[in-house]
Structure 1
Amino acid sequence: MAFKLHNAGLIALGAIFGVAITMQFSALAQKPLEPALPLEALRQLADVYAVIKTDYVDPVTDDKALLQEATSGMVASLDPHSAFLDRRSYRALREGTAGKFVGLGIEISSSDDGYVRIVEPIEGAPAALAGIQAGDLVTNVDGVAVRGAPVDDAVRRMRGEPGTQVTLTVLRSGHIAPLKFTITRSQIVQKSVKGALVEPGYAWLRIAQFQEPTLDDLAAKLAALYRQDPDLKGLVLDLRNDPGGLLQGAVGAAAAFLPKGAEIVSTHGQRADSRQHFYGTAQDYMLKNGDALAGLPAGLKTVPMVVLVNTGSASASEIVAGALQDYKRATVIGSRTFGKGSVQTISPVGLDAAIKLTTARYYTPSGRSIQAHGIVPDLRVDEYVDSDGMNSLRMREADLEHHLANDRSKEASMRADDLEAQTRLYLRELARKPLQFGSADDFQLAQALRYLKGQKVLLSAAQATPP
């Protein structure tokens, strides 16, 4: 996700619970209504409202909710990332950028069988302390079934006031009966940056999503890695499953490895303020005074690099991968990214709601549009040694109904057409142990290290297929 504060430049906001978007804050009160109002259509809406009030089987008393649903449907019909945000959704969006929220402390995603999958519990957070594990499938939240419901519904049920409790019912591999965990909510402070020396001379750095503290955490982790080994011979930047985040974080992350002042990303849309260029300078990547990247080791500009991406890499993470790829600063390894390359503007409506509206596309330094196309890796490497057929099953931007078209290249759905093959692959992947990025079992990381050492890389069969 990405959005813009009036005095802070574009931000790409990535929610831990879904694919990132690009947004900017605006004020409807400052904008004149230039287009003529379609009075006939508005009269029709009023007529529909009147018929519902008088003829529906039961009395409809919540007029505000009814009209909010009408507004929500109007905005949502435009594209998958435009939406009406009620008070709760608007608050959750603002909390996500700060990396702080009240909840359980879990990374979640939707599973292919309709449940909510635990991607990873945050270390030391309530869910981890209660015994929740990566790979668990949440079936119920406080007794309410979540299968088939939007992930956001489960998120809302899991969040609440500090000190209150919530009960999760989960399915876990190896357990016949469902497990129940009663967890006390607390304020969660997310750490979006991890890193380690995985071998002498070789570092792994993972950005899980881009938030307000990410650049400070990134700079601190890079400095620590160089203190451990001042003569690094290779660095792997891991952006897999990174749904996006603050664009300032993306610009800063790319700037850490590129020449000072290099163009990182540009945006273009109908509005004059949507046509902008962002460079690797403190004024374009800092949300506060100072420069988090000042004083970083000079070796970061030249150390050989690999960027790991997959279908879960979206928005701000695609900006970083695209910039480093355009400048040939890093070799991109993995699978084609999600293809979320549009900008959404957040316009407050009243005191407790907002409209999130797509207003621009963003482009890599060479002018490529990522929208509905994604970043194609230089080297395609599967997630597992025995091939990752699940890539053909995973949802991408081009698969979303009413998605915004790519204006500079041909787009296409990446879904496999062979339903039988999909089913076989799905059942095989379902039986796998959840992959822990950065672990000894991380096949893509192992191949990235082989590449940095000049050794043969085990490529995907898809490498022979034109992108």
Structure 2
Amino acid sequence: MPHVRHLFRSTPLVLALTFSATGGAWAQQTQQPPQTIAPAPEEVPATTTKAPLPLEELRTFAEVLDRIKAAYVEPVDDKTLLENAIKGMLDNLDPHSAYLGADEFKELQESTSGEFGGLGIEVGTEDGYLKVVSPIDDTPASKAGIEAGDVILEVDGKPTKGLSMMSAVDLMRGEPGSKVRLLLSRGGGKPFERTLTRAVIKVRSVRSEMLEKGYGYLRISQFQVNTGEEVGKALDQLRKDNGRKLDGLVLDLRNNPGGVLQSAVEVTDHFLKKGLIVYTEGRLPNSELRFSADPKDASEGVPLVVLINGGSASAAEIVAGALQDHKRGVLMGTDSFGKGSVQTVLPLNGDRALKLTTALYFTPNGRSIQAQGITPDIDVPRARLTREKDSESLREADLQRHLGNGNGAPDRQRSATPAPSRPQDEDYQLSQALNLLKGLNVTRGE
């Protein structure tokens, strides 16, 4: 697949699954490959009926423009007034539609490359406030302890309530190395401050490791252009590390804000041999798209548990919903975010663009998760896992002159060294996922 910025420059319209923030508060842009791109407005068949222009309202618009220019206390140029009018049109639609100036458009193009400047926060709006959808792994936001669901009350002392998404994001943008102070609230509790240092965010979208013999862990933090390919490589590496087919796999989509639609389809395809993955419906003639799995199964049918939470959104929900509908894996965790809309990026003159919601996507069984989310099969809330210290009591094998077991097996005495720390030792949801996989294998006699 070509680099995202090449696609933006060579196609008139790009479908996207995206949130409403860009730049410093990280936005996830998604794209469709050229063969699935819907037509630009001028390419819509001639049979489409266009409504007549509202002449009276246009006259009112021109009159307001003229009076502001003539009477406002300070001079305002035409470009500023017209751009503000355009922003106003988009701001009063859904929270994912927006007008992108040259800088915002450039940052949006760069976001799926996995490297951009900012804090590493995916944000949305709720009741006029700026809300954290999810912090991105290994970024200033995640290192500062910011969590999904936190409300950003102030940025460097300036309240965010009532600000447009773009204005709030502009406050958090800045040069890497510069600092920004956030005032946050969590769960309606007492506000607290965090000071973050802006950085060049290099997001590693796929991470994998063996939890223990036979059981692998695959973490996807976002869906970038090459995520599907990276997941294929990770599955192959896990099998090599295990020396044989895996006994079970945990696919971690928690706090994954989404990303490239095509990558979500490719990732899902690694776990399915047939059937529909996702489809979209909208008003544009070519917005009704369908994506299906091919017969190849890179996961070899390994027993699968998928972890989701309130920070799992958009493309992550596509993957989770498809695997749940096909009963390919067990979903565990908490309800997902619930973003089921598709955005289309329409480039304009002067390196600007519109990001416009044009369709809804549906899971294979026809579920729209818009404002609903994906409900896990097994609800496992986040919890702190505290492991009690093992008892120092003796075992039979520690006693002098103890009998052997008669089978020739070696004695099992107390371990002299503590077991090394593992990811599941500190992560309650992950430990529950691993236990479920082990239980499935026991009941299957594997």
Q: TM-score, normalised by structure 1?
A: 0.68
Residues 1:73 and 1:10: Cα distance change in structure 2 (over 3 Å): closer
Partner of 2:102: 87
Matched, 1:210 2:228: no
Alpha-carbon distance, 1:452 to partner: 1.2
C-alpha contact 2:105 2:352 (8 A) present in aligned 1: yes
Distance 2:160 2:88 in 1: 23
Map of 1:220 onto structure 2: 233
Which structure 2 residues correspond to residues 251-400 of structure 1 after superposition, within 5 A? Answer: 251-259=265-273, 261-281=274-294, 300-384=299-383
1:247-297 residue CA offsets vs partner (Å, 9 max, x unmatched): 1110011000100x5321111112111011112359xxxxxxxxxxx8xxx
Residue in structure 1 matched with residue 398 of structure 2 by the alignment: none
- Correspondence for 1:133: 144
Query: Residues 110 and 372 from structure 1, CA distance in 2 versus in 1: closer, same or farther, beyond 3 angstroms?
Result: closer
Name the CA distance, whole Å, in 1 between partners of 2:212 and 2:249. 11
Quick check: which has more Rg, 1 or 2? 2
Report deviation, 1:34: 3.0
User: Which residue identity is paired with 1:62?
Assistant: D
Match of 1:248 among 262, 273, 277: 262
| TM-aligned CA deviation for residue 364 of structure 1 | 1.0
Residue matched to 1:195: 208
Please name the residue that 2:433 is paired with: 448
Assess, with a 3 A threshold, how the Cα gap between structure 1 residues 122 and 454 changes in structure 2: closer, same or farther. closer
The alpha-carbon distance between structure 1 residues 368 and 18, as it changes in their structure 2 partners (threshold 3 A), is: farther
**SS of match in other structure, 1:453:** helix
Instruction: Specify every segment of 5 or more residues in structure 1 that has no aligned partner in the other structure, as ranges.
Output: 283-293, 387-436, 456-467
Question: Partner of 1:77 in structure 2?
Answer: 92
Q: Compared with structure 1, are the counterparts of its residues 118 and 303 closer, same or farther at alpha carbon in structure 2 (3 Å cutoff)?
A: closer
SS of the residue 1:366 aligns to: coil
Instruction: Check if 1:49 corresponds to 2:65.
Output: yes
SS in 2 for 1:211: coil
1:96 is matched with which residue? 111
SS in 2 for 1:274: coil
Contact 2:13 2:347 in 1 (8 A): no
Q: Which amino acid aligns with 1:246?
A: V
**Range that drifts further, 92-101 or 239-248:** 92-101
Contact 1:240 1:313 in 2 (8 A): yes
CA displacement at 1:9 relative to structure 2: 8.1
List gaps (5 residues or longer) in structure 2: 185-191, 386-421, 441-446
| Shift, 1:168, TM fit | 3.2
Q: 8 Å contact 1:255–1:262 — kept in the other structure? A: no
What is the distance in 1 between the residues matched to 2:89 and 2:97? 10
Distance 2:288 2:124 in 1: 34
TM-score by length of 2: 0.71
Equivalenced residues, count: 375
Aligned equivalents of 1:313 and 1:120: distance in 2?
11
Q: Look up the match of 1:232.
A: 246
Alpha carbons 1:255, 1:280 under 8 Å: kept: yes
Q: Does the CA contact (< 8 Å) of 1:171 and 1:179 recur in 2?
A: yes
- Secondary structure of 2:179's counterpart equals strand
Deviation at 1:181, TM superposition (A): 6.8
Q: Aligned with 1:354: secondary structure?
A: strand
Structure 1 residue 221: Cα displacement = 1.8
- 2:122·2:257 contact (CA, 8 Å) conserved in 1? no
CA 1:301–1:180 in 2, change beyond 3 Å: closer, same or farther?
closer
- What's the % identity of the aligned pairs? 40
